[in-house]
Amino acid sequence: MSNRERPLRAVFVTYSFAPSAGQSAIIGVLKRFLRLVRYLPPEAVEVHWLHGGYLPEHDPMVREWLPRLNRYAPSGECLNAPGAWLRPRLGRLRWRVGKAWHPPGRSEKPRLTRLFSKLRPDLVVLMESPLAGFLLEASEVAQELGLPQVAMDNYMEPGHPDELIRGSPQIERWFLLGLPYRGERGWQGERILLAPPLLAPSPGPASERADVTILGYDPKVGEDGVTLAGLLPAGTVARLLGPPLPEEVRERYRRQAGGARLLFAPMPDEADYRASLEGSSLVVCKNGFQQIVECLAVGTPVIVSEGSGVPGCFLSEEILRFTRYLPPDQGLWDDAVGLARGWMSERPAMPWTSALAGIPDMARHSAGLFLEFLERSAAEPLTARGRTA
């Protein structure tokens, strides 16, 4: 615990995208913020939350934390009264290479400048690399006001931290979530801290074991997962996690699954989510980096239905050994189906599982590291020594 006389004041900047045709909402940045903030002691960190874009009102974690945090719109308006839902203020947003962009000529910088000047935080915490859009504007305002900035992102592969430092030199330190590919964990010099995925401890085995778990929050993943299950040996048990489906859709999925037995389950809470991953021979999910590494962290290989996430070419060789992307053409699925059959017959050994097995509550462990990361960044700002641009 820090020896500060008052809590560290931090502004956390997040964004998310509303569902589009055939796609689920893009809320990974928002969810990892909420997974971390639940462990931050209020006597240690005073949390101010600045969010741009869509808020998934149906998500249990979002509903729990909305009334408990000091929350602001990009306009600077305080929205922390219960039931005051944020509506998008950035105009029409689009998705490009996994980052947020907004239309030319529209800027929230004047409002952000007023808000940051009023709050005068000890740190501005960007929950993803500020490459464009709302996150970039928040970073530029922080830099103009001389406010120290830190950021979170995915730990894609061992060379990734150097790329982040070169690409965003205004960021003092980086907190990266991912796998210890070669045993690397914790502080990597002054500027990088590596932590495991934000997985809660498992309460025990899933209520019913499945050979295949399909993270069907995205409709395309649900379709592809059910189709894949129908190509696996007769008697395969497939669990489809996702929102409620009309009976006619369930019946169509049952026919599509062929000889596989298909179970329908609601979106799980954090603990049941991990139990589902651990209790499966393989998982079908979208190409969200955190979904992939959460599966691999518990030793479960992954079949990926590609959507608006991370292309396979961005992943490390270590990840790709246990991950296979489904080609758009179902006629080219033979390789993925063969791998899935092999993984069902023998679970592959992964190099990081023994190290992570010693951390039963990865979410709490990583949150403890995150608190240390914030306190060190506030106590030892690198900008004071001329280390950042």
Q: What is the pLDDT of residue 1?
A: 46
Q: Are 117 and 110 in contact (CB under 8 A)?
A: no
Tokens of 11: 């502004």
Q: What is the pLDDT of residue 207?
A: 62
Tens-digit pLDDT string for the chain (389 aa): 456 789 999 999 998 887 776 666 678 899 899 999 999 999 999 999 999 888 877 777 888 888 888 888 877 778 764 333 332 322 222 233 333 434 445 688 999 999 999 999 999 999 999 988 889 999 999 999 999 999 999 999 889 999 999 999 999 999 999 999 988 989 999 999 999 999 999 877 656 789 999 999 888 999 999 999 999 999 999 999 988 899 999 999 999 999 999 999 988 888 889 999 999 999 999 999 999 999 999 999 999 998 767 888 889 999 999 999 999 999 999 999 999 999 999 999 999 999 998 898 999 999 999 999 999 999 998 864 444 44
Q: What is the pLDDT of residue 183?
A: 87
Q: What is the pLDDT of residue 99?
A: 39
Any residues with CB less than 8 A from the CB of 109 and at least 6 apart, and which?
A: 137, 140, 141
Q: What is the pLDDT of residue 175?
A: 98
How far is it, in rounded angstroms, from Cα 258 to Cα 192?
48
The burial of 165, by beta-carbon neighbours within 10 Å (0-12 exposed, 13-18 middle, 19 or more buried), is given as middle
Q: Are 191 and 382 in contact (CB under 8 A)?
A: yes
Give the H/E segment covering residue 289: helix 289-297
Q: Are 320 and 312 in contact (CB under 8 A)?
A: yes
How far is it, in rounded angstroms, from Cα 123 to Cα 126?
10
Any residues with CB less than 8 A from the CB of 69 and at least 6 apart, and which?
A: 37, 47, 48, 49, 80
Amino acid at 89: R
Q: What is the pLDDT of residue 26?
A: 78
Q: What is the pLDDT of residue 271?
A: 82
Q: What is the pLDDT of residue 3?
A: 61
Sheet (strand 149-155) strand order: 70-72, 45-53, 8-16, 123-126, 149-155, 173-178, 192-195, 186-188
Tokens of 283: 């998982």
pTM, full prediction = 0.88
How far is it, in rounded angstroms, from Cα 24 to Cα 20?
7
Q: Are strands 186-188 and 173-178 parallel, antiparallel or unpaired?
A: unpaired
**Tokens 């996430």 sit at which residue?**
309
